[in-house]
Chain A
Amino acid sequence: MKVKVLCRNPDDYVRETTRDIQRVPRNYDPTLHPFEVPREYTRALNATKLERVFAKPFVASLDGHRDGISCITKHAKSLSTIISGACDGEVKVWNLPRQECLRTVQAHEGFVRGICSRFCGTSFFTVGDDKTIKQWNWEAPGYGVREEPINTILGKAVFTGIDHHQREGTFVTCGQTVDIWDEQRSSPIRSFSWGVDSFSCVRYNPVETELLASCASDRSVVLYDTRESAPLRKVIMQLRSNTLCWNPMEAYYFTCANEDYNLYTYDIRHLDVPVTVHMDHVSAVLDVDYSPTGREFVSASFDKTIRIFPKDKGHSREVYHTKRMQHVICVRWSADNKYVLSGSDEMNIRLWKANASEKLGLLSAREKAATHYNKKLIEKFQHHPQVRRIARHRHLPGDILKQKRELREMREARRRKEQNVRKHSKPGSVPLLTEKEKHVVAVVE
């Protein structure tokens, strides 16, 4: 006699451990799950709302400086360490997770103009208003030992900026000229000058490590190659650029923060027109730094806000501000792409999340899946008016809002005027310029 038995594989219905959720066999037949679009839309809307509700970007404030922060640098090898320089010549080393100052050095007389970390993370350089370049050890001296720089170089003029090579023992400073220094020597191994006597910022390209770019006071951005005897090319804009930053993942793009409230991303192969004009700030942009992934950058402005821009979008995706934060002078994006640091006039360094609504810390697999799904949903329904409206809403302080409106009106008036001029002049005599073309005055070879 044959006995027929129903046989089931326990793997299909028994969970592996008691901490697992119960296995529920699912039937994916679409008739059993109708109204896909409306249901997903509701989920997307909820996800958007929750994203905004959980958007709490401010993490911590590091106070201790006795003057405005003038520069911040990350440690090359440690995520938890940063250095900041203040306008009274004080340099502080901070531990981020403990939110405390590890070490204070009176590095210069007057401003600390620039700090850069050596690529190996053993020492850092500072330049100040006292015409010196000082090299400091990352390690604090022992108890009772005075803070002394490893090396001090006395220059002829004030240095305004410094940056270190990505892999070699050379660094570059700017002031009256752009100088390239060897760490072992006390005089520059090369100086570049090109009809300007004042530079505000110089940066090494992190990918093409022999390339340099600097912002000069004659409203220009100058490119250099350390292997060549002369500078490469310069582009003159309508107003001065304060700082610039190279994209760490895309060798030929850099973004400069301009006095005219905008940021400009350039392709060094085509300097005559910027690739993108990033506008949203309502006052001069003072600093810019790329995220280590090269997808976004953060900018600090005189209008007391920080904004995060996608690298190829004309407008910011995020704006950070607090009541107490004054003019933001320097800003950096942390090397793990998670945080943004800002140093401002009122002596505080602030730590922000790069992604405002992100949950910090380790996520379980289910949490991760849920966040990914929610993100995708928001992306999928981003064009729907309700989702867009909620996702795009940001709170702004009243005065900035007012300035923004004012600016918009001014822009509109200018546009109208231009239109009228065009209307009443000979056809073709007033050319139609795009926003990108308007800001470049000349490219000098």
Chain B
Amino acid sequence: MQNENLVQISFFNQLMLVHPRKKQNERSEASVQVSEYFVNAEGTGDKVNLSDLLGTVEKTSGASNKTKKQLRNLQSSKETLELPLNKQQTEKIQRGIAYEKTTAEVSCWKNIILQNQKAEQMVFPLNQESSGPKRVEQVVAGWKVQTPLEQEIFRLLHGSRQPVNDPVLTPVEEQSLKAMSLEEAKIRRAELQKARALQSYYEAKAKREKKIKSKKYHKVQNKAKRKDFLKQFDEMVKTNPEGALEELKKMELSRMEERMSLKHQNSGKWAKSKAIMAKYDDSARKAMQEQLQMNKDLTQKMVVPSDDEHESIEEGLETVPDFVNDPETVIDPVNPWMRGQLTHEEPEVSCVTAEEVQTAEEENEEEEIIGEFERKRKLRQADEEDLIPTEEERKKIQEDVSEFNTLFRLMRSEKTREGSNQTRGGLNTAGEEDEEGLLSEGQIRVRSIEDLEVLDEVVEPRAIEEPSAPQTAAAEATSEPPHKKKREINLKEVLTKEAKAVRLPFLPTVVDEEERDEQISIIKEAFAGDDVISDFIKDKSRQEAAGRPAVVDLTLPGWGEWGGVGLKPPRWKRKRFRIKTAPPPPRQDQKLPDVIISEKRTASVASHQVSQLPFPFQNTAQFESSIRTPIGSTWNTQTVVKNMTKPKVVTKLGAIIEPMVKEDFIKSKTTSAGDLVFLSNCPEKINFIIFFCCKP
């Protein structure tokens, strides 16, 4: 309506502007048909104003205020309509809008795709249907509505949230199913069964115990009970004094009964016979004494200890600590961690159902075992390193150091030593070669394992450079001249530091002092001929010297100076032209007097070592830990191995893997919302449907 008006008015305006209308004579006689083309504007000249045409609208009562307002606005505006865009531009805009729409739609897959990419294991085909006969409802689900009646019925059915296809159950039914699912029911039944079994077991046990005739058994039992009771009472005193008082009363009562009765006294038949026997039999005498003691105990008045007394008792206890009397826990030299295991607390049993407890326990057990192994492994590694006595700090650092760590350090140091004098281009090409996943393609065809070995030589022709040792000669010169005199080795004299005892976790090293002395003397005797230790020290100092950087002397005689052998260049020259390189990092065996750790890169091992930190890892420690954890069944339990080695993608043999189906993964929210609205609108229709459904 508004648009029409707009068009008309603009048309009019244009007409007025372009063709100034000729003045027409007004006819005065009345006629039935008055042509609009002969309407003349009065007083304003030749142009017809919009207000003239629409003036009547203002006066008519039928027109709404809104239109009037719009018309008024139109009168004031004097713009012409814009030309429509050309085809190319409209299409471009259309494409842009369509693209935005599609991208938005496609983006809803983002979460699913990310989730699948991160998933530890994907099983294909994705939605595996259970094989076997289907329910009628599922078969019917593919059926399409055709006649209007069917359509009507289906609309109603959808409206009432009655399931037509896939979810065969109503929401209510589903909820009820959820409330009591099969699994839960099974669990519950299992619990009940277990409880029943336990009950019957306890009953049987009680019966059995009741039947036991052995006096000794009952005696022991009673004693245990009494002890238990006392313990409980002690606790009660602390926690629940009123209850304790009552208990006390009960005890008093029992004491009185005991005093009144002739039990545990000398008057019984058994006691009399024992009394006769006591003269001859030691055990009988003992039994008698025990009986009397029992009587004494039972008839003694209970004394509630006051606080100060308690304290004094405690003090007394404190003077002699408990563990003094404890038997020394024997630490198995093979299993030094056994003690830790013994003190390991039992997991507290809280008020969970028996089933849960059991499953949890199973899991716990496994985790515990794994955890323990991990701990042990670490301990062992630490132990291996502790074989080398070092300072405390070093120990701490080295606790998690494995062989790889040292190798890494070595490699890094070597790299830095090699310096960065490699050309950029060379580095780049090397990087390209080593890029992840790049196949190294060659003309060698691999047919057997021997071929693989040969591959090695062909592909890696570059030999690993040995760090040159030009200073060795100098080092030898500086080292002491070899001792010619033979003498007996004195350990104290040779080793500057007290050697710590080396703990070997594998063998029990229980050696008596005397034995050790003896051994030392034997060793002394055996090696009386050669001076091993001084040789060793010499060797070590030589190696240390070889590792030290030499001073590079670049001094040359200048103008007007003497040249030749044996001259001492001036001080400033020496200062300026003798270049001292930075000292290398401290040797690993710096503080170990009796060890030489070779920091040389061994070629045979180096070819098996990782020289660069691989991509996803941030630091060497991460990488090492990833390598250190074994995944094989030699070190892990079956389930752990299964978990650790499970493949990322699992496919079923002979199953067609269909592409994803949108309906399975992305729930459309609009339909469910619509259903709800529909439902709220027509409650009476539901009744109808129920009626409809009930009708056969």
A372 CA / B662 CA spacing, docked (Å): 32
Q: Is A335 an interface residue (CB 8 A)?
A: yes
Tell me whether A233 and B610 are in contact in the complex, defined as CB-CB below 8 angstroms, given that A248-B659, A394-B439 are known contacts.
no
A315 CA / B438 CA spacing, docked (Å): 6
Residues of B within 8 A of A401 (CB): 441-443
A314 CA / B429 CA spacing, docked (Å): 17
Interface residues of B in 345-359 (CB under 8 A from A): none
0/1 interface trace, chain A 39-79, chain B, CB 8 Å (1 if under): 11101000001101101000000000000000000000101
Instruction: Tell which of B334, B452, B631, B632 touches A390, judged by Cβ atoms closer than 8 Å.
Output: B452
Instruction: Tell which of A31, A269, A295, A375 touches B505, judged by Cβ atoms closer than 8 Å.
Output: A31
Inter-subunit contact A317/B102 (CB<8 Å): no
A314 CA / B651 CA spacing, docked (Å): 25
0/1 interface trace, chain B 477-506, chain A, CB 8 Å (1 if under): 000000000000000000000000000011
Name which residue of chain B comes closest to A292, CB basis. B657
Question: In the assembled complex, how far is the CB of residue A329 from the closest CB belonging to chain B, in whole angstroms?
Answer: 23
Q: Is A310 an interface residue (CB 8 A)?
A: yes
Instruction: Tell which of B91, B380, B440, B656 touches A335, judged by Cβ atoms closer than 8 Å.
Output: B656
Q: Is B660 an interface residue (CB 8 A)?
A: yes
Instruction: Tell which of B436, B459, B610, B636 touches A389, judged by Cβ atoms closer than 8 Å.
Output: B459
Inter-subunit contact A385/B99 (CB<8 Å): no
Q: Is A404 an interface residue (CB 8 A)?
A: yes
A310 CA / B648 CA spacing, docked (Å): 14
Interface residues of A in 170-214 (CB under 8 A from B): 206-209, 211
Question: In the assembled complex, how far is the CB of residue B572 from the closest CB belonging to chain A, in whole angstroms?
Answer: 42
Among listed B241-249, B295-303, B511-519, B639-647, interface-contacting one: B639-647
Inter-subunit contact B437/A389 (CB<8 Å): no
Tell me whether A30 and B657 are in contact in the complex, defined as CB-CB below 8 angstroms, given that A207-B109, A232-B95, A315-B437 are known contacts.
no
Inter-subunit contact B92/A337 (CB<8 Å): no
Name which residue of chain B comes closest to A233, CB basis. B99
Q: Is A20 an interface residue (CB 8 A)?
A: no
Inter-subunit contact B443/A251 (CB<8 Å): no
Question: In the assembled complex, how far is the CB of residue B449 from the closest CB belonging to chain A, in whole angstroms?
Answer: 5
Among listed A131-139, A141-149, A256-264, A376-384, interface-contacting one: A376-384
Among listed A9-17, A122-130, A222-230, A341-349, interface-contacting one: A222-230
Residues of A within 8 A of B335 (CB): 29, 31
Instruction: Tell which of A295, A313, A373, A383 touches B632, judged by Cβ atoms closer than 8 Å.
Output: A373
Name which residue of chain A comes closest to B90, CB basis. A230
Question: In the assembled complex, how far is the CB of residue A166 from the closest CB belonging to chain B, in whole angstroms?
Answer: 7
Residues of B within 8 A of A381 (CB): 627
Tell me whether A319 and B439 are in contact in the complex, defined as CB-CB below 8 angstroms, given that A53-B449, A249-B116, A372-B646 are known contacts.
yes
Interface residues of B in 401-438 (CB under 8 A from A): 402-404, 425, 429, 435-438
Q: Is B654 an interface residue (CB 8 A)?
A: yes
Residues of B within 8 A of A416 (CB): 425
Question: In the assembled complex, how far is the CB of residue B75 from the closest CB belonging to chain A, in whole angstroms?
Answer: 39
Inter-subunit contact A316/B446 (CB<8 Å): no
Residues of B within 8 A of A79 (CB): 654, 656
Interface residues of B in 644-676 (CB under 8 A from A): 644-647, 649, 651-662
Question: In the assembled complex, how far is the CB of residue A229 from the closest CB belonging to chain B, in whole angstroms?
Answer: 6
Inter-subunit contact B440/A336 (CB<8 Å): no
Q: Is A106 an interface residue (CB 8 A)?
A: no
Instruction: Tell which of A31, A77, A315 touches B439, judged by Cβ atoms closer than 8 Å.
Output: A315
Inter-subunit contact A390/B455 (CB<8 Å): yes
Inter-subunit contact B656/A208 (CB<8 Å): no
A412 CA / B426 CA spacing, docked (Å): 11
Name which residue of chain A comes closest to B105, CB basis. A208
Name which residue of chain A comes closest to B110, CB basis. A252
Residues of A within 8 A of B628 (CB): 36-37
Residues of A within 8 A of B633 (CB): 373
Q: How many A-B residue pairs have CB under 8 A?
A: 239
Q: Is B113 an interface residue (CB 8 A)?
A: yes
Inter-subunit contact A231/B95 (CB<8 Å): yes
Q: Is A150 an interface residue (CB 8 A)?
A: no
Instruction: Tell which of A37, A335, A397 touches B630, judged by Cβ atoms closer than 8 Å.
Output: A37
Interface residues of B in 443-463 (CB under 8 A from A): 443-449, 452, 455-456, 459-460
Inter-subunit contact A249/B651 (CB<8 Å): no
Interface residues of B in 86-116 (CB under 8 A from A): 91-92, 94-96, 98-99, 101-103, 105-107, 109, 113, 116
Residues of B within 8 A of A318 (CB): 439
Inter-subunit contact B94/A229 (CB<8 Å): yes
Question: In the assembled complex, how far is the CB of residue A384 from the closest CB belonging to chain B, in whole angstroms?
Answer: 6
Tell me whether A335 and B442 are in contact in the complex, defined as CB-CB below 8 angstroms, given that A30-B377, A40-B632, A293-B122 are known contacts.
no
Name which residue of chain B comes closest to A305, CB basis. B441
Inter-subunit contact B659/A269 (CB<8 Å): no
Q: Is A393 an interface residue (CB 8 A)?
A: yes
Q: Is A218 an interface residue (CB 8 A)?
A: no
Name which residue of chain B comes closest to A316, CB basis. B439
A389 CA / B452 CA spacing, docked (Å): 9
Residues of B within 8 A of A380 (CB): 626-627, 631
Inter-subunit contact A395/B446 (CB<8 Å): yes
A230 CA / B647 CA spacing, docked (Å): 44
Question: In the assembled complex, how far is the CB of residue B651 from the closest CB belonging to chain A, in whole angstroms?
Answer: 5
Q: Is B14 an interface residue (CB 8 A)?
A: no
Inter-subunit contact B113/A250 (CB<8 Å): yes
Inter-subunit contact A268/B610 (CB<8 Å): no
A362 CA / B654 CA spacing, docked (Å): 11
Residues of A within 8 A of B678 (CB): none
Inter-subunit contact A269/B103 (CB<8 Å): yes
Inter-subunit contact B608/A384 (CB<8 Å): yes
**13 additional contacts (CB under 8 A) given A207-B662, A225-B102, A393-B455:** A28-B637, A30-B380, A37-B627, A40-B630, A53-B452, A225-B98, A295-B649, A315-B436, A317-B437, A336-B653, A377-B632, A397-B443, A401-B442
Residues of B within 8 A of A (CB): 91-92, 94-96, 98-99, 101-103, 105-107, 109, 113, 116, 122, 124, 334-335, 369, 373, 376-377, 380, 402-404, 425, 429, 435-449, 452, 455-456, 459-460, 505-506, 607-611, 614, 623, 626-628, 630-637, 641-642, 644-647, 649, 651-662
Residues of A within 8 A of B (CB): 28-31, 33-34, 36-37, 39-41, 43, 49-50, 52-53, 55, 77, 79, 166, 206-209, 211, 223, 225, 228-233, 248-252, 268-269, 280, 292-293, 295, 310, 313-319, 335-338, 362, 369, 372-373, 375-377, 380-381, 383-386, 389-390, 392-398, 401, 404, 412, 416, 445
* 27 CB < 8 A contacts A-B: A29-B373, A29-B376, A33-B634, A36-B377, A36-B630, A41-B608, A49-B449, A53-B447, A79-B656, A228-B101, A232-B98, A248-B659, A268-B102, A292-B659, A315-B435, A318-B439, A336-B652, A375-B645, A377-B631, A377-B632, A389-B455, A392-B440, A393-B440, A393-B452, A394-B440, A395-B445, A398-B443
